[in-house]
Amino acid sequence: MTVDSEYMETDAVKVLPYRISSAAPALSITDDLEMEEGVATPQVSTSRNSPSTSPDDRPPSLPAVPRHLKKIISAPTVNFSNDNLPLIKQAISRLKQIKEKLYEDEYQKMSTNSIESATDRLVNAKLSETEPPTAALYPRECLREVEKLSALDRRFMEVLLNSAEVKECKWPTFADLTKQWESDTPEYQFQIVFSFGFSLDAVKKTVKNGCKRINIPDGVCGIIADCLGDSYFEIKLTVYFDKRKDDWNEQDGEAWIFHRGSKGKLEDVVNFDKTERIYYVEDWPLKGLVVDAEDGAKLENLERKLVAWQCCQIIWFALGRNLDPKYCHCLAVRNAVKKLIFVLKGWFTGLLLGESFEPDGITFETD
């Protein structure tokens, strides 16, 4: 990731000298009013009487606010004069530079750790923790029937969600994601690869291990596994997000949805129409993901909706945390991620269901 040279300055910032009033304590201009760029220095308290602990056992310490900056922030405005205004402008400019650098560092850590953290959240996910149908980013019209599935089907939805694994998550640079299109970065690329479900071999192994105590023959275990079937899917989606588009929700991309075919090899179910230049799924491989269906046509429709729900929820668990100001402090990143989540979900509803996901009611944060 490239960083503007102005963000890499190491000089300390001279923060405005006080005009001390008689009621305020005197502060040293040379010592107390100079702020170093090292904003996050962990402070660890020690005690002679406390038992010795390893670094891993100690509770995490919060980054300390520079002492001199805290004094300036808490000082009453009467401590300043108009002569301070040039230095105030200089200090504000420098603090903005530091803020942008810290935003970029936070984004870099998030993008680097996004795969592991997303998979951890999915492994422990409960249906009660999934994105609710009332959420603005949830395609409620497309997935309305999923909410009506039986308790058995919904329990399997949770099991499939826990089986999900985010394998790749390629983020753009901080500048490409956040800067306006008027800059030299009008388009960025985002790619995510994930899987969910269980292969037939994994199901057979699980059934065999579970039936050991009651001495079920291996052949019978195989029959049981065949009845349960293969539920494994692997999805790869690349979005080419053009920030110049007025309809920001309509973005180009490429998509693959793999499943294990009859020969045990991964096959792509996505087709591409070269004339219309659109992706679509025509022949759906029934997997037995839903038992609460009246006929084959309804079963296929519900399976498509269930897989679309799984994909949308995996995107939510993988990226949705970055909409929370407690975890992502940069407003520009939060707004960009909200658009990205919406576009990714729109691809899944379009591919699997042939239905569009319109951004009605989507709002963005402002300064």
Does 224 fall in a domain?
no
CB 24 within 8 A of CB 72: no
Residue type at 240 in one-letter notation? Y
Domains of the chain: total: 1
Is 215 a domain residue?
no
Whether 217 maps to a domain, the answer reads no
pLDDT, position 5: 41
Look at residues 106, 140, 122 and name the one whose alpha carbon lies nearest to residue 192: 122
Q: Are 83 and 18 spatial neighbours (Cβ–Cβ below 8 Å)? A: no
Q: In the chain, what percentage of residues exceed pLDDT 90? A: 56
The pLDDT assigned to 158 comes to 96
Full domain range(s) for residue 122: 114-197+232-353
Buried-exposed string 1-13: b where 16+ CB fall within 10 A, e elsewhere: eeeeeeeeeeeeb
pLDDT at 215: 78
Whether 38 is in a domain gets the answer no
C-alpha distance across the termini of the chain, in Å:
26
pLDDT of res. 323: 96
Evaluate if residue 43 carries a pLDDT over 50.
no
Q: What is the pLDDT of residues 233-262, one digit of tens each?
A: 999 999 999 998 989 999 999 999 999 887
Which residues 6+ apart lie within 8 Å of 271 measured at CB?
279, 280, 281, 282
Question: Could you give the C-alpha distances from 260 to 234, 289, 350, in angstroms and in order?
Answer: 9, 14, 22
Q: Are 205 and 257 within 8 A, CB to CB? A: no
Range with the poorest average pLDDT among 115-124, 137-146, 292-301, 335-344: 292-301
- What does each C-alpha distance from 49 to 24, 43, 54 come to in angstroms? 38, 18, 16
Q: What is the 3-state secondary structure (H, E, C) of 2-15?
A: CCCHHHHCCCCEEC
State how far the Cα of 33 lies from the Cα of 237, in Å rounded to an integer.
Answer: 51
- Spatial separation of the C-alpha atoms in residues 40 and 286, rounded to whole Å: 54
Please choose, from the candidates 141, 130, 161, the residue with its C-alpha nearest in 3D space to the C-alpha of residue 316: 130
**C-alpha closest to that of 30 among 68, 65, 66:** 68
130 lies in some domain: yes
Q: Which of 7-21, 41-55, 66-80, 340-354 has the highest mean pLDDT?
A: 340-354
**Would you place residue 144 in the very low, low, confident or very high pLDDT band (cuts 50, 70, 90)?**
very high
Residue 1 domain-assigned? no
Residue-level pLDDT at 27: 38
The pTM for the full model equals 0.78
% of the chain beyond a pLDDT of 70: 80
User: b/e map of 23-52 (b: 16 or more CB within 10 Å)?
Assistant: eeeebeeeebbebeeebeeeeeeeeeeeee
Q: With 80 as the cut, is the pLDDT of residue 21 above it?
A: no
Distance CA 6, CA 12 (A): 13
Buried b (16+ CB within 10 A) or exposed e, 277-307: eebebeeebebebbeebeeeeebbbbbbbbb
Give the whole-angstrom CA distance, residue 113 versus residue 110.
Answer: 5
Is residue 10 a part of any domain in this protein? no
Say which DSSP state 362 is in.
-
DSSP string, 225-292: HHHH----EEEEEEEEEETT-SSTT--EEEEEEEEE-TTSSEEE--EEETTTTEEE--S---------
Give the range among 52-66, 178-192, 288-302, 308-322 with minimum mean pLDDT.
Answer: 52-66
Residue 25's pLDDT is: 39
Closest Cα partner for 90 from 10, 36, 14, 28?
14
d(CA 248, CA 339): 8
Residue 40 lies inside a defined structural domain of this protein: no
